[in-house]
Amino acid sequence: MYLRGLLNFSLNFFYDAITDLEVVIEKSEEANAKHYLARGRCFACLSMFKEAITDLSIAINLNKELIDAYLNRGKCAYLIGDTGLAFMDFQKLIVIEPKNPMVHIYAGNLLMTTGSYEDATKAFTNADNIEKSSLALYQRGRCNVALNLMGDALKDLSRVIEQAPTDKVAIADMDCLSALKNASGGSSTIQLADVPVPPVQPDQDEQANQPLTHVSMVHDK
């Protein structure tokens, strides 16, 4: 039944997966962290974030080292605006998986949301140092715009384009910032009122933009 739940999840049959997993949880003699993790992911994919957080919290209580539970609970908490819980989970992930660049990117995104741009910049730098990442550089560039460091922002965007030469968004942003810098007489700083900083989204690339990855659930088999 558990494997059928995983299969239904992978096929995007989330309600069927929840039904299967509820049977598994009810019939199990002992509580199993992976069962709650699996059902929590199903809830999250249905945007039932509070239910997801409840199940993921149970999974964490049963297994303090369950990385996916922290990751997914942190994302869900972030999406409902519970920055305290999200930050706590991402901090825990950094301790457990310090060499995972995405963990640092998630933490950086959260710090951007709270307006801690300097700390966010450090998080994105850590991510890029671990593994070259155009996403980390792009997000760091956005932080530099917010900090009115246009020269540094342009450098970050330039590196993004080097790594992803077909990134139309980065190219457009590069052209925009370059024009603003030229209009200001080449100054590396521009009045922030002249530069709209788009609202921070949970993640900027296709993979990171998913609150839960369907693929990762299959690894629990």
Pick from 115, 149, 112: nearest CA to 135? 112
Asked if residue 102 lies in contact with residue 127, where contact means CB atoms within 8 angstroms, the answer is yes
* pTM greater than 0.85: no
Task: Identify the sign of the CA torsion 77, 82, 83, 89.
Answer: negative
Q: Residue 113's domain is classified under what CATH number?
A: 1.25.40.10
- Whether 170 is in a domain gets the answer yes
Same domain, 16 and 66: yes
Based on the fold, state whether residues 37 and 105 are members of the same structural domain: no
Last residue of a domain, one of 42, 57, 82: 82
Q: Which amino acid is at 122?
A: K
Q: How far is CA 99 from CA 5, 95, 104, 206, in A?
A: 31, 9, 9, 21
Residue 18: count of CB within 10 angstroms of its CB:
22
Regarding whether 59 and 153 lie in a shared domain, the answer is no
Which of 82, 114, 133 marks a domain boundary? 82
What band does 205 get if pLDDT is binned at 50, 70 and 90? very low
199 plus 103 within the same structural domain: yes
Q: Is residue 213 part of a domain?
A: no
Domain containing residue 49? 1-82
Q: Are residues 63 and 120 in the same domain?
A: no
75 with 105, same domain: the answer is no
> For residue 181, what pLDDT band results from cuts at 50, 70 and 90?
confident
Same domain, 72 and 138: no
- If asked whether residues 47 and 144 sit together in one domain, one would say no
Q: Do the domain assignments include residue 215?
A: no
Q: Which residues contact 66 (CB under 8 A, 6 or more apart)?
A: 33, 34, 37, 59, 60
Cβ pair 128, 135 in contact under 8 A? no
Q: Which of 34, 50, 82 is the last residue of a domain?
A: 82
Asked if 181 and 150 count as a contact pair (C-beta separation under 8 A), the reply is yes
Number of domains into which the chain is organized: 2
In a domain, 220, yes or no: no
Q: Is residue 89 included in any domain, yes or no? A: no
Is the pLDDT confidence value at 198 over 60? no
Residue 54 makes CB contacts below 8 A (sequence gap 6+) with: 40
Q: Are residues 71 and 28 in the same domain?
A: yes
With cut-offs at 50, 70 and 90, classify the pLDDT of residue 19.
Answer: very high
- The SS3 assignment for 201 reads coil
For the chain, give the mean pLDDT: 84
In a domain, 88, yes or no: no
**Residue 111 shares a structural domain with residue 70:** no
Same domain? 117 vs 193: yes
Q: What does the pLDDT read at residue 216?
A: 32
Indicate whether 219 pLDDT > 50.
no
What's the pLDDT band for 215 if we cut at 50, 70, 90? very low
> Do residues 129 and 110 lie in contact, with contact meaning Cβ atoms separated by under 8 Å?
no
Segment holding 16, helix H or strand E? helix 14-27
Interval 143-160 mean pLDDT? 93
Distance between CA 183 and CA 151 in Å, rounded? 14
pLDDT, tens digit, 9 for 90 and up, residues 105-136: 989 998 898 888 999 999 999 999 999 999 99
Residue 206 in 3-state DSSP? coil
Question: Alpha-carbon distance 161 to 40, whole Å?
Answer: 37
